[in-house]
Amino acid sequence: MNKNTFLIPMVAIGFLAVCACSEGNNKNNGGKIGGIDVTDAIAAAEKRREIDPNASGGNTCLLAYQEKYDQLLTKDIVLTLTGFDESKMEVKYTKIMKPEYHSVNYTFDNQRVRERAGYTMPFKDNVQLGSIKAMSLAQFNDSYRAVTAEEDATVDEVLEDLHDGKVTDPDAQEALGNLEKQGVDKEVAKQATGTLRDAFRKVAEGYRKVEGLGDAAVWNVETQELVVLENGVKFDLQVDTKNTNDENKAAAIELARKLLDACN
């Protein structure tokens, strides 16, 4: 694979398998197995088989929110989802580079703490929408997965190319230009690549498929992030408001369905 089509953008910035259950159990759980609606999952699988894997940008409704993220993920939606106190809410709209890299972030200072690396640290509850972008199913499946050993081995080379100015990818060049404008020394940036490389590997290893959501979806266990593709347009949701990964995942899926409903 050409590293410019997969690795640089990341560095710079089947059918549902179910267990056989008794007929009586299926009646009792309303057609769900393991908490998943089987009918919906089958419908989603059939839909995916009909999709042109190379088509992108079909969901013009979602694309229209590229420059108004806060009108898709509104504060009212966030407050309803979390049940948090509005007086503790902070809203940050980030507009760096092109609209596909923008995001709106809602944080709540609920005086929570978290254990990390042996330390107890305060953290804010967080709900974020970002990266609304035209993307084909083929590109989505290629991007949001664990990298191969060969691809992993090229990351160092990509990072070196970035620092040496050898990369022609326009997004990477824009990112480097922003660093220069901010006065970031190249050597300082280069020293940070070790941390970036470790983070890249962890994120790439963290993707898990989510069935029955959009045309395709993945949850990243490292970043608490849900990436959803619907009719050639994808978006990212980050939800970190609960105590466990599974709880955050469930909240993110609930939120994603609500956002998709806005364009259906």
Measure the CA–CA gap between 40 and 32, rounded to whole angstroms. Answer: 10
Q: 97: which DSSP letter?
A: S
Q: Domain for residue 105, yes or no? A: yes
Domain-embedded: residue 117: yes
Beta bridge partners of 217: 228
Domain that holds residue 78: 54-146+206-264
Q: How many residues does the chain have?
A: 264
Q: Does residue 123 lie within any of the structural domains?
A: yes
Q: What stretch of H or E contains 162?
A: helix 155-164
Indicate whether 15 belongs to any domain: no
The amino acid at 221: V
Q: Tokens 């266990």 belong to which residue?
A: 221
Span 148-206, pLDDT tens digits:
666 656 666 666 666 666 666 666 666 666 666 666 555 555 555 556 556 666 666 78
DSSP of 39-59: HHHHHHHHHHHHS-TT-----
Asked whether residue 46 is domain-assigned, the answer is no
Using CA of residue 159, residue 229, residue 222, residue 84, what is the dihedral sign? Answer: positive
User: Is residue 47 in some structural domain?
Assistant: no
Could you report the per-residue pLDDT of 217-263, keeping only the tens digit for each? 999 988 889 999 999 999 999 999 998 999 999 999 999 999 999 99
pTM for this prediction: 0.65
**Domain annotation covers residue 20:** no
Mean pLDDT of 56-83: 94
Q: How many domains does the chain have?
A: 1
Q: What are the φ/ψ torsions at residue 7 (nearest 5 degrees)?
A: -75, -40
User: Residue 18 domain-assigned?
Assistant: no
Lowest mean pLDDT among 107-116, 128-137, 217-226: 107-116
